[in-house]
Structure formats: C-alpha cells, structure tokens
Chain A
Amino acid sequence: MVTTEAVDEAGAPPSAARYLACWIALVLLTGLTFALSTVDLGGWSLALALAIAVAKGSVVALFFMHLWDHVGAVRLVLVTAVLFVVVLSSLVVADVLTRFPLALPPR
C-alpha cells in the first residue's frame, strides 16, 4: 500500500567518487571566495561572496544531503525555509532604508 507520495528511487547507490568531486569543488570555492575578499570590489564584494556561498550550499544540500536523489516534499522544505528568511530580511531592510532618517540609530 504505497502512498501516492513518490518514494525515492533507490537506484544504484551513488559512487564514492561523486562525494570526492564535491569535496574538491567546495575547497576550490572556499579558496576562490577567500581570494576575492582580498581584492576590493566595492559594492560587489558582498553579492559575489553570497553567490559563492549559495553555490557551496547547494553542493552540500544536493549531493551530501541527497536532495538530488529524493523528489517531492523534501526538496520543498529547504527552499521554503530559505525563501521566508529572504522575505523577512528584505522587508526589514526596506523598512530601514525608507524610514525617517532621525528614527535610525545615529551612525
């Protein structure tokens, strides 16, 4: 009595080489983001560092945490959680940017 929820396709277990490749990718990305931080890119440094962090995060989430193999609700959970953190951050930052200047802490 299998429920309609698609249970993961337990095909051939992924080979160890895949994990090694992921590890190397992560180390390289860490080196890259460290190198980029020494170069002063002005406004872009944060955006670039976050982009690299998202790349590293998705490598860990997809392969180490096997989201690559499982379909369905499991993937949705992480995406929803991150989405709501972004929603909360963007609305709070929007409030700070458009607030009456004297209502902000003196800076």
Chain B
Amino acid sequence: MNELLRRILFLPPQASAASVGIDHLHFFVILTTILVSSVAGVVAVYFMARYRRRRRDQPTPHLEAPRWLEATFVIVPLSFFLLWFRIGFGQFVEMTSPPADAMDVYVTGKQWMWKFAYPDGPSGLEVLRVPEGRPVRLLLTSRDVIHGFFVPAFRLKQDALPGRYTQTWFVATKPGTYPVYCSQYCGTSHSRMRAAIEVMAAGDFDRWREEEKRGRALQRDTALGAADDQPRASDMVALGRRLAESEGCLKCHSVDGSPHIGPTWLDLYRRTTTLADGTTVLADEAYLTESMMDPRAKQVRGFPLTMPSYAGKLGAPETAALVEYIKSLRASVVPAPAGGPVYEQTGGP
C-alpha cells in the first residue's frame, strides 16, 4: 500500500528514517483532501441538476442551518486539522532536534554550488558521503545569498543563511545516490545548483574515511618537508589550528592544559564553566562563537577581561574552523602539534 501510493503520487524513494512517517501523514491528508473536495464538487453539481429551476418564479423554502448542524461543521473539520497538526508538528520537532552523538558535516552554499566539509576529514564539492544508519547533523551556511538545501529522498529541506548557521539532521536508511537541489531562488543558475548525497554502508564509510585520513596525513607530511611549510588546510581542524596561531589566540590560550592568560582550550568543549557572576554555562558552539565576538558577554571567573572582540575580523567559516579545532582538543587524543606554537611572554595580548 505504501509503495503503491508512493508511486502514484510520484514521491521519491523513502531513503531516511523520518521520510516514512512523513509519507504516511502525507497519504492520510491527501486522500482525505481528494475525498472531501470531490464530494463537495459532486454534491454541488448534483444539487444544480436536482433542484434546477422549473418555473420563472418558482417558490423556495426559507431554510436556516440548525445550530447543531453548524456546530458539527465546525467541530469535524477542526478536529481533523488539529489531529494532522499534532502528528505533523511532532515529526517536525523530531526533525529539528539532532541527537548529541550525530556526526557533524559543514555544508556551505555558494552561488551555484554546494561544498561539504567534515570537521576532521576531507572537504569536497558536489558529493557528500554519509554512513547508513547513523545520525548525521548538517550545519548549513552560505557565502553570499540564501540557498535552500533540499534532499527530496530524505524529505528534508533547510535554508542556508549567509553568515549564519542553520542545522538539520537525518538518518539515511537506504544506500544509494540521491540528488540535492537548491530550493531558494539565488540567481541566474539557481536551477543548476545541484549536488548528490551518496549513502554508503557503515563499514564501507569508515574504511573510506580511514583511507582519506591516511592519504591526507601522507600528503601533509610530504608538504611539511617541502619548501612552503603551509600545510594544505584540507580540513577545518587544521585550518582552525593555523588560524589560532595567526590570529594570536595561542598567545593567551594554551592547548595542553597548562594555565595561561586565558582559559585553556584542552577539553574546553562541553565543559561547564563558572562565570564571573557565579552562574555556570555549558561551553558549546554557541558559547564559543559568542565569546569570540563579544568576550565581555560571559566573562569566565578568575581570568582578566582583556580579550579583544573579533567581530568583523573573523567570518563565519573561520569561526567554525576555530570551534572545530577547540572541539578536537581532547586530552585523550591530543595530536602532536606539527612544529607547535612558540609562547612569547608578553605583557598581555
């Protein structure tokens, strides 16, 4: 029944966990709509024929709708509508609250192409590889105008706002390649701004990621040996590390837990920090981004208020790279810093 209706209504394959529930609500609502509107149309035409005018001044009864009938025609439609809303909004809340263990992927829309970047993996154009059966959270942003990330097969759509991050998530259930469209008008080649999501079996995906990592690690070492020691920032963590050095963050923030002018970044991500006014806050992406833009907003207890604001100096992608770098600094897996930052003891930043 599900497959038959899906085919009749030209719906794409149901390739994500949420899409099955959405399609069931779809069938329920559309079938009721077709039924009710056909009945209304047929009854109208039937009345037009049955009660056609036989004489010029044919008398007609004076009829007023009884109150109970009027109430029925309010209660019945309203209860149907509210029932649909209850189901639909439940699914929507589920669709907009990603689980904590979801794998993050950064999606950047740029006039007429999509770019994907794994925090500690490869970034690439046009094709996004995701594992089957595991939740994947997409953090969407745009470089110029509003784009809409639309995957018909996952029944998923979320606008990407320039300079901001919006999020959505899915659990892919069927391996295969599914088209991605841009749904918000963004210029002349809006209709050519397409990409694809390739759903791979979980095992294949992990193997692919390892190769990618080994391939890139090999590439970074050879690059280090080469004349320009600028490692190709193929992934955001490396970009974050480079920015932390160039922007002077490491002058005040240590990465290996040692005390310094500012709070250490080791294990900072998701650490409950007590602020100067005694309240505590969870150091998540929002807190980290805000602290870069407006350090005075949530000053940490025991540290001087000397950090400059980076508003206007750091764009959204650079901020994201720094956040990813901070998230990668976990005591258990601190990679040997290639060449490591040099601390010059200065009077203050």
Contact = CB atoms under 8 A, between A and B. Distances in A.
A and B touch in the complex (CB under 8 A): yes
A102 B293 contact: no
Interface string B138-168: 0100000000000000000000010111110
Interface residues of A, number: 8
Contacts of A101: 285-286, 290
B290 A106 contact: yes
Contacts of A106: 289-290, 292-294, 311, 316, 319
Contacts of A105: 163-164
A64 B235 CA distance: 67
Most interface-central of A103, A105, A106, A107 (chain B CB within 10 A): A106
Interface in A58-107: 100-107
A103 B286 CA distance: 10
A103 B297 contact: no
Contacts, number: 33
A22 B290 CA distance: 48
A100 B167 contact: yes
A39 B116 CA distance: 52
Given A107-B294, A107-B297, A102 B167 contact: yes
Interface string B272-316: 000000000000011001101110010000000000000100001
Contacts of A107: 290, 293-294, 297
Contacts of B297: 107
Interface of B: 139, 161, 163-167, 285-286, 289-290, 292-294, 297, 311, 316, 319
7 contacts: A102-B139, A103-B166, A105-B164, A106-B289, A106-B290, A106-B293, A107-B297
